[in-house]
Structure 1
Amino acid sequence: MKMKDDEYKKAQALGDDQWVPRVRSFHTRVVYGLCFIAAVCSIALWGFKCYRLDLNSLGEGTNSPPVFGPKKLTPEELREHLAEIDRGLKAFLNSSKPFTKFGPPVMNWDKTRADAIRRSTNSSNGVNPKPRIMLITSSHPKKCENKQGDQMLLKSIKNKMDYCRLHGIELYYNMDHIDEDMTSWWVKTFLTHMLMKQHPEIDWFWWMDSDAIFTDMTFELPLHKYEKYNMVMHGWDDAVYDKRSWLGLNAGVFLIRNCQWSMDFLHAWAPMSPKGKIRDGAGEFLTKALPDRGKGEADDQSGIVYLMITDRERWGSKIFLENSYYFQGYWRVLTDKFEEMMAKYKPGLYGDDRWPFVTHFCGCEFCCGSINPEYTRDQCLVHMERAINFADNQVIGRYGFRHKSLKTPEVSPKSNNHVQKNQTSNSMAAESKKA
């Protein structure tokens, strides 16, 4: 269900209405055929150019292009269409059992948090403070279905522990079955809300799915870019606002600020989550609002896109869709290139396809090995191992070791030349950051 960069590129190259004319003669068929080919090529060229532009700048103005869907709507028609859906969803949720999983809505949280920080000696309050971050991740409490699954989960959490240790980030790892209704994707809302209330001293909470791996252990979040925002995810503005695509962002990795806005956002997002009648019913409204979403129960990613397009001023204006580096990168376009990256580039400088910050195994699951029919279990496990060892080389390299190859956990001592080269590259990366 997660965002795939290559799928998005393909989607942009297609028009939503592929009109094939009814023909009456050979000459008519030829003319119509040539016109059709020219139209498809024009659309493909337009899509390619749009993708090469700064996608953050698209869809910002009032003169946005018509929205793709079952039919094209003017901006006024679209606003009414979404407003009608929103009224229907709110009426449905109000007629159901009230959402009480979070307790009563949190009020005056910014003041409560400021008071708690003043009383605390364990916060970022001070001269030139470094923002405090807590990384949250979770896995199923039961034993995995395949033999390698539990080992992969162990390696995944070790990868996150290494990154957090190197960057002074706190880590919360959940293995509990907290609520029987808020399962699957939706556990992240419950955990984030719970930890936000219990840790007012934390500035940012960073959710990562268990199948997301740090592959640049030196790169740090450019928090200065997000000063005016309260939430960060990988995505594209035009895909969300112009296309209303549920694949316009990826909710498997997100950063959310500890503030009143975030409390309100979680309270608006989570009521779609209780499994059963509510989640199924909310899914029907999400499918009406998002043209490329199939039928099915409400998912977390569609829920975020829905909130952004139905109330852009309140929610969308505070959500930053990051695509200048891999806040999370799709594994199928990255893992085969790790050796090339090691030969040409260094960690800590790019975060993009030259050395990805985070590699996300969308479509794979550590416990079952594969949930997408396009991949086999062995494919997922082999490439997960490669990503984990690629990252681990950056950790054990500090102590003079490296993996014999990315496909094996076996390590060997690095030569003095390699050690010296690694120390030099780390110094260069540090100097580049300071500059």
Structure 2
Amino acid sequence: MRLRVQLQEQRRGKSILRSKMKEDNKKGLSSMGDDAWLLFRGRSFQSRVVRAMCLIAVVCTFGIVLLSLSTLDLSTLTIGSPRPVYGPQRMTSEELREHLASIDKGLQEFLSANKPFTKFGPPVVGWDETRKEAIRRSTNSSSGVNPKPRIMLITSSHPRKCENKQGDQMLLKSIKNKMDYCRIHGIEIYYNMDHIDEDMTSWWVKTFLTHMLMKEHPEIDWFWWMDSDAIFTDMSFQLPLHKYEKYNMVMHGWDEVVYEKRSWLGLNAGVFLLRNCQWSMDMLHAWAPMSPRGKIRDGAGKFLTKALPDRGDSEADDQSGLVYLMVTDRERWGSKVFLESSYYFQGYWKVLTEKFEDMMEKYQPGKYGDDRWPFVTHFCGCEFCCGAINPEYTVDRCLTQMERAVNFADNQVIGRYGFIHKMLKSAEVEPKDAAKNRTEKASVVAKSKKAV
């Protein structure tokens, strides 16, 4: 009986102790705040909280994505949509046309506000008919068409002496190289050393000379401009004129780089072929007004920089001006320009000249025109006469590699008479038989040394 009473008292005491602990816990938790109390609500409640937080995060992320997409051109995300236009901002084709039209309007207003361009005289009209009549009279042909296209090569150099004697020597070798090619292929040549105009200096002289000669020689079908630092390195290769029947101008370049990237480096205006026709007359009249140095050339350069994203802040140059015409009015100008990249209408000397010996060993001239045996090698950036050389090169390197290029080409000329240069870097020549024997002896010695 006593034992039963003790057990009941113990149970009653434990019950009282538990009740007191619960009251103490509630008081303590209430002092921690409602947020802390949620942590002790049980595992199922915590799971619901985590799921709710995840849902909120997903909704927020989706909202951010929608906000970002609202600023994009959704047409670029669809399958088969046109490639985006390169530039400071990605624009649709319509936006790009409006952008370029606005720039061109500003340029034309700027040019009109200044002294009108009169270097060429009044615009030539009816030139195609004038040419046909001139050709008919000169050939006594009722058809008015020459049996073979006539080409005139035009080149020019400074009327003053170069800053160094080697520069003058290279100009002499350069014109000799061009005369050799023209003589072999029956092409006429015009070499200018006159001071044409005070304003149309530097690169722009090509527009004046070409326009002048087109009017003076209506019987010529194509005018071929070549900078003085461009060298023929395949003396047998001939222009594939059949490729250009539907075009009026040919240059080395790439359509994508010009029209999509609007890059002023998408072509090279140092070598170009221009048909003698009304379109070419009109194009020269649209191109040359940017040329007068000073206020006009500086101001025009600002508009060219706005239209061509990769162009720096500088005065208007001939190459940028031509790219500008092509991208602002592709239908009128660009549609008649053939950008040639299947062979080196002009090739960059830095990637070609050190491979000449390998070309001579593996290939032959007259077949390729590309990096296996380049048609024309252009020493752009060297400026061996005026001295304003690209800082990437040295004068010695430019002169050495140009000497090699000239002799590489000359081997193809004097080789017809049984001679060859002893080395590409030397003007000294020797009979081809002697060179062959020397090469064979050197090969035998090399093999014997290798065997030992």
Regarding TM over 0.5, the answer is yes
| Deviation of the 1:70 alpha carbon | 1.4
Name the structure 1 match of 2:123: 105
Q: Using a 3 Å threshold, how does the CA distance of structure 1 residues 333 and 259 change in structure 2: closer, same or farther?
A: same
Name the structure 1 match of 2:222: 204
Moved more, 166-175 or 119-128: 119-128
Secondary structure at the residue paired with 2:139?
coil
* Whole-angstrom CA distance in 2 between matches of 1:374 and 1:193: 34
Name the structure 2 match of 1:67: 85
| Deviation of the 1:68 alpha carbon | 1.6
Asked whether the 8 Å contact 2:300–2:316 carries over to 1, the reply is: yes
2:331 aligned with 1:317: no
Specify which of 295, 310, 318 is matched with residue 292 of structure 1: 310
| Deviation of the 1:121 alpha carbon | 3.2
Secondary structure at the residue paired with 1:85?
helix
Specify which of 177, 187, 210 is matched with residue 159 of structure 1: 177
| Deviation of the 1:371 alpha carbon | 1.3
Secondary structure at the residue paired with 1:364?
coil
Secondary structure at the residue paired with 2:182?
helix
Q: Percent of counterpart pairs with the same letter? A: 82
Asked whether the 8 Å contact 2:132–2:144 carries over to 1, the reply is: no
Name the structure 2 match of 1:59: none
Where does structure 1 lack aligned partners over 5 or more consecutive residues?
1-61, 420-435
Asked whether the 8 Å contact 2:349–2:377 carries over to 1, the reply is: yes
| Deviation of the 1:307 alpha carbon | 0.4
Deviations 1:89-111 (A, max 9, x none): 00000101000000000000000
Name the structure 1 match of 2:416: 398
* Whole-angstrom CA distance in 2 between matches of 1:119 and 1:187: 31
Matches within 5 A, 1:22-421: 64-121=82-139, 129-368=147-386, 371-415=389-433
Counterpart residue identity of residue 104, structure 1: P
| Deviation of the 1:415 alpha carbon | 1.2
Q: Using a 3 Å threshold, how does the CA distance of structure 1 residues 95 and 370 change in structure 2: closer, same or farther?
A: closer
Larger radius of gyration: 2
TM-score normalised by structure 1 residue count: 0.80
* Whole-angstrom CA distance in 2 between matches of 1:335 and 1:296: 31
Asked whether the 8 Å contact 2:133–2:144 carries over to 1, the reply is: no
Secondary structure at the residue paired with 1:200?
coil
Which is bigger in relative contact order (C-alpha 8 A, separation at least 6)?
Answer: 1
Asked whether the 8 Å contact 2:411–2:421 carries over to 1, the reply is: yes
Asked whether the 8 Å contact 2:227–2:271 carries over to 1, the reply is: yes
* Whole-angstrom CA distance in 1 between matches of 2:146 and 2:202: 39
* Whole-angstrom CA distance in 2 between matches of 1:138 and 1:281: 27
Please tell me the root mean square deviation across aligned C-alpha atoms, in Å: 1.9
Secondary structure at the residue paired with 2:211?
helix
* Whole-angstrom CA distance in 2 between matches of 1:269 and 1:370: 25
* Whole-angstrom CA distance in 1 between matches of 2:377 and 2:301: 28
* Whole-angstrom CA distance in 2 between matches of 1:282 and 1:255: 25
Q: Using a 3 Å threshold, how does the CA distance of structure 1 residues 125 and 172 change in structure 2: closer, same or farther?
A: farther
Counterpart residue identity of residue 237, structure 2: F
| Deviation of the 1:368 alpha carbon | 3.8
* Whole-angstrom CA distance in 1 between matches of 2:81 and 2:292: 38
* Whole-angstrom CA distance in 2 between matches of 1:168 and 1:124: 24
TM-score normalised by structure 2 residue count: 0.77
Asked whether the 8 Å contact 2:301–2:315 carries over to 1, the reply is: yes
